Structure 1
Amino acid sequence: MADTLVDDVAGLLRETADRVVLPLFRHLDAADVTEKAPGELVTVADRRAEDMISAGLRRLRPGSVVVGEEAVADDPDLLRHLGFTGEVWLVDPIDGTANFAAGKSPFALMVALLTDGRPSAAWILDPIAGTLATTQDGAGAYLDGVPLRLPADAPPVGELRGAAMTKFLPVSSQRTVVAGGSRIGELLPGQHCAGREYLDVLTGRQQFVLFWRTLPWDHAPGTLLVRAAGGVARRLDGTDYHPADTEPGLLVAASDKVWTEVHNTLLAP
């Protein structure tokens, strides 16, 4: 029997978006939005969506473990599962919660599967755009069922387009990035939604994105998808990203050449 996991999880995300997330978009009351930490919003839609996705994933893979963003906020010890053997799901029920709470897009639903500690499958759904990116077991990346392959070459630095999340960077790094940004074709401030940033790299709307904060549910899906499409996702010291690694700093690029050009331009002291 063929493995239908990609389609099954895709259907679960679409159903969650249709039944839970989109009906509450622009229909939240003040009591529906709270802070789980200073400056970190959570809505009733986040919690309901995570409950629905988590239950669905456990049904699809009995015995698997789910590590969801909101569950970790309540019990940080759940992160220990990222180093376990077996199947572990990472779930971001609404990536871009601040956007969602403000009644604007983008926001995304994201899931990644770790198998014996190795990222093995990923899904990113932008429910407003209706766009879904998927990958499983090295079989390549797909956007709405169409294979994706990023170009291996790189345009000149002055023609590159990408985003840098400078808000959380150390002050010295902020200065370096801002100074180097004048040599980049277009340096964007970011969309407050990692999932959309990854989708924009996959579709060629931008060639790179620089993050400082690297929470696993924000980046496990996107980094696996970009790599499956031929791109790279590395720490700022050049080592490959892994979701169990909690160190800050991540540069994602459409190719090795783009990664090197951007690193040399934005991050070289």
Structure 2
Amino acid sequence: MTALSLLPRTTSFLPFQIGEVLREAAVTSVIPRFGRLGSDEVQEKSVGDLVTIADTQAEAIIAAGLTALRPRARVVGEEACAANPGLLKNLDRGEVWIIDPIDGTGNYAAGRAPFAMMAALLQEGEIVASAVLDPLSDRLLLAEKGGGAWLNEMRLVSCEQRPVPRALSGIISHFQRPPEMEAKAGTLADDGVTLLSTQRCAGFEYARIAIGELDFALYWRTLVWDHAPGILILEEAGGKAAHLDGTSYASSRPHRPILLARNKAIWDHIASAMAR
């Protein structure tokens, strides 16, 4: 991807507004506690799934800020859903804010990067605006449905017409990977594809694909707060995100694998290899 035209920095541009809400929560709750969490400020929601005081406080700040932008929209945050899973019902009705206050909480709790902060607006189930923030570098990716994607103030422009490069590199997540997919992942490696370890932070990995640092990623668990913000950014930057059968991502199907690629040619190549 390359960067060209400037972001319209106006108070009425929704993705920019979302990004500013994320930045406020980062400065207030997330950055000050990074590397400074006490043992009583980290809890385990389930085995290996952590939540920190920064997650809950940041989610409250983001929820308030987004509600101010769209008062009639429902708010569905990762931490609120841990307490009330019923919030995930009817995501395809009306306007819904999706919040991941800290994506990569395990990294954050351990005092290491990467981690990200993400939010998206759904309208009747369609992702229409989103933002993904790296709080440590202030790298902010924004997208508007049909309006493009930006890295900070510069628009991302697709390189989708380029052919598949000879050497691809990407991620096939181990988390919840079906046993029958192990051999297929090995086949990709045999074909010269470099398989990298996931950083356990989807927001970081979406950003890398959108800006051309990574060619593809394949995930098996596709919870809406982990994927909706990044999907819009990737698609508006000329990439492709879809289930392995080619159907579009649906928040109502959180356990169907999703393949991301920086352009359609790469998506087709990896999907074909995984279908052999």
- Counterpart residue type for residue 272 of structure 2: N
CA-atom RMSD in angstroms: 1.6
Match of 1:268 among 262, 271, 275: 275
More divergent stretch after superposition (3-12 vs 28-37) = 3-12
Q: Residues 116-155 of structure 1: matches in 2 within 5 Å?
A: 116-155=124-163
Cα distance in 2 for partners of 1:17, 1:107 equals 11
User: Corresponding residue for 1:37?
Assistant: 46
Tell me the SS of whatever aligns to 1:67. Answer: strand
- Does the alignment pair 1:225 with 2:233? yes
1:64 Cα deviation (Å)? Answer: 1.2
Tell me the SS of whatever aligns to 1:248. Answer: coil
Cα distance in 1 for partners of 2:211, 2:27 equals 24
- Counterpart residue type for residue 250 of structure 1: I
User: Corresponding residue for 1:215?
Assistant: 223
CA deviations over 1:108-135 (Å, ceiling 9, x no partner): 0000100122110010001112210101
Distance 1:181 1:137, change over 3 A: same
1:2 Cα deviation (Å)? Answer: 7.1
User: Corresponding residue for 2:75?
Assistant: 66
Distance 1:142 1:79, change over 3 A: same
Match of 1:251 among 259, 262, 272: 259
User: Corresponding residue for 1:76?
Assistant: 85
Q: Give yes or no for contact 1:157–1:184 (8 Å, CA) kept in 2.
A: no
Q: Give yes or no for contact 1:92–1:110 (8 Å, CA) kept in 2.
A: yes
- Counterpart residue type for residue 144 of structure 1: N
- The one of the two structures with greater contact order (alpha-carbon pairs below 8 A, sep at least 6) is 2
Tell me the TM-score normalised to structure 1 length: 0.94
- Does the alignment pair 1:173 with 2:185? no
User: Corresponding residue for 2:12?
Assistant: 3
- Does the alignment pair 1:26 with 2:21? no
Distance 1:98 1:259, change over 3 A: same
Match of 1:90 among 90, 98, 106: 98
User: Corresponding residue for 2:61?
Assistant: 52
1:157 Cα deviation (Å)? Answer: 5.8
More divergent stretch after superposition (69-78 vs 246-255) = 246-255
**Which structure shows the bigger proportion of residues in helix conformation?**
1
User: Corresponding residue for 1:114?
Assistant: 122
Cα distance in 1 for partners of 2:165, 2:180 equals 22
Tell me the TM-score normalised to structure 2 length: 0.92
Q: Residues 190-201 of structure 1: matches in 2 within 5 Å?
A: 190-201=198-209
User: Corresponding residue for 1:159?
Assistant: 167
Distance 1:237 1:172, change over 3 A: same
Q: Give yes or no for contact 2:104–2:114 (8 Å, CA) kept in 1.
A: yes
Cα distance in 2 for partners of 1:36, 1:167 equals 17
Q: Give yes or no for contact 1:161–1:206 (8 Å, CA) kept in 2.
A: yes
Cα distance in 2 for partners of 1:114, 1:50 equals 17
More divergent stretch after superposition (58-67 vs 98-107) = 58-67
Q: Give yes or no for contact 1:220–1:242 (8 Å, CA) kept in 2.
A: no
Distance 1:58 1:191, change over 3 A: same
> What number of residue pairs does the alignment pair up?
267
- Counterpart residue type for residue 47 of structure 2: P
Q: Give yes or no for contact 1:81–1:88 (8 Å, CA) kept in 2.
A: no
Tell me the SS of whatever aligns to 2:131. Answer: strand
Consecutive unaligned residues in structure 1, runs of 5 or more: none
Distance 1:153 1:181, change over 3 A: farther
Distance 1:47 1:131, change over 3 A: same
- Percent identity among equivalent residues? 40
- Counterpart residue type for residue 268 of structure 1: A
